Structure 1
Amino acid sequence: MSRTVGEHTADPCPRCFVHAVRPGEPTAVGGCDVVGYLCDRCAHAWTRPVEDDLDVYDIVRVDLTDATLYGTVWQMDADRVLVRGTSGEWLRWVERWRVIVY
C-alpha cells in the first residue's frame, strides 16, 4: 500500500522498505512492457507490469513526475489513458505506463 507525501505517492522499496518518491521508467523485460524503479538508499531495482487490462470506470492512480493523481478511467487509446478526477473537476490524458489500478 502506498502513502501520500504532499502531492506525491511514496511506495516502499521491496528490499529495505524505505518509503520514497521514485519516478519510474518505461522499459521491456522478456518482451513485456514494465515500469522500472531504483531505490536510492539500497540500490535495489524492481519492476511492475504496465496495466494491460484497464477498463473504462476503473479507479486508478497516476504517477506523474510532479504529482500523483487519483481518478477514473474515462477513455483509452493504445498508449494513453484519459483519466477523470474523482469529483469530475479535471480530465487528463496520461501515458498508459503511468497508470496503476487502485
Structure 2
Amino acid sequence: MSRLIGPYTADPCPRCFTEEVRHGAPVSAAGRDAVRHLCRTCAHTWLRPVETDIDVHDTVRADLPDRTLYGTAWQVEDDRVLVRGSGGEFLVWVERWRILVY
C-alpha cells in the first residue's frame, strides 16, 4: 500500500516491501513503453507498463520530480495527459509515463 511522505507518494518494493519514493525512468521493453524502478535497499529492479488505457475523467496519480499529484484526467493525448486537481485547484500537463490510473 502506498503512503504519503511529504509532497510525494512512496511505493513498496515488490521483493522486500521497503517503501520509498521511486520516480522511475522511461524505457522500452519488448516493444512496449515501460517505467523502470529500482529498490535502493535490495537492488531489485522491475518494470511498470506505461498506462495506455487512460480515459477522460479517470482518477490518476502523477509522479512528478518535485511532488505527487492526484486528480482527474482532463484531456488525453498520445504522449501526455492534462491533470486537473479536485475543485480545479490545478491544471497541469504531465508526460504519460508518469501517470498511474487509480
Fold shared, TM-score > 0.5 on shorter chain: yes
- Alpha-carbon distance between aligned partners in 2 of 1:87 and 1:99, rounded to the nearest angstrom: 20
> Which structure 2 segments of 5+ residues have no match?
none
Amino acid at match of 2:45: A
Once the two structures are superposed, the pairs formed by residues 1-102 of structure 1 within 5 Å of their partners are: 1-102=1-102
- TM score, norm. by length of structure 1: 0.97
Runs of 4+ in 1 over 2 A off after TM superposition: none
Over the aligned positions, Cα root-mean-square deviation in angstroms equals 0.7
1:16-45 CA-to-partner distances (Å, cap 9, x unmatched) read 100011111000110011000000111000
Amino acid at match of 1:2: S
- Alpha-carbon distance between aligned partners in 1 of 2:86 and 2:51, rounded to the nearest angstrom: 20
Residue identity over aligned pairs, in percent, reads 63
- Alpha-carbon distance between aligned partners in 2 of 1:97 and 1:11, rounded to the nearest angstrom: 16
- TM score, norm. by length of structure 2: 0.97
- Alpha-carbon distance between aligned partners in 2 of 1:7 and 1:77, rounded to the nearest angstrom: 26
- Alpha-carbon distance between aligned partners in 2 of 1:52 and 1:81, rounded to the nearest angstrom: 11
> Which structure 1 segments of 5+ residues have no match?
none
